[in-house]
Amino acid sequence: MPLVKRIWDLMDPNVETITPETPLKEACAILTGQTREKKGNLGLVVKRSSGEYLGLLTTKDILKYAIYLYNKAMREGKKEDWATQIRDYCKDESLITVNDIIVHNEVFVRPNQNLFEVIQIMDNHDLEVMPVVDTGKIIGMIRSADILGEIARSIL
């Protein structure tokens, strides 16, 4: 029965972390897999240099920011599209950092939680990926696709 499995059975212990000062351009490259052979992530853990967890930066957060830039350009009567706005902002990488976009989110799961509990948390917070925290440290990530895969394996 898949929903009684625990998160530690499915989580990915390889966590990609960035700092709030990371340029948006670099975060986008990591999320889309442009910086390595591995396919991109749905989210990156944002931590201070001290190791303090601040939240998660997701592809959805960046897309929402793109919408914000587009709407801002339209309100200002600019003819450029959102892609031009983002390109112009990103020419100087110091202009947009992860800190400008991150949603500080203290939602996380523990490794001993069962899959059903995590599905409910993901649904309640509209998340596709969540950090797994044990004794105050991030030890992995769990994605909704990982949980769906486990459910599919058990019924096929």
The pLDDT tens digits of the residues spanning 47-77 come to 888 877 888 898 888 888 888 877 877 787 7
Say yes or no to pLDDT of 13 above 60.
Answer: yes
Does this model's pTM top 0.95? no
The pLDDT tens digits of the residues spanning 39-48 come to 556 788 898 8
H helices of the chain, where?
A: 24-31, 59-75, 82-91, 98-101, 115-125, 144-155
Fold of 2-155: CBS-domain (3.10.580)
Q: Where along the chain do its domains lie?
A: 2-155
For residues 69-95, average pLDDT: 69
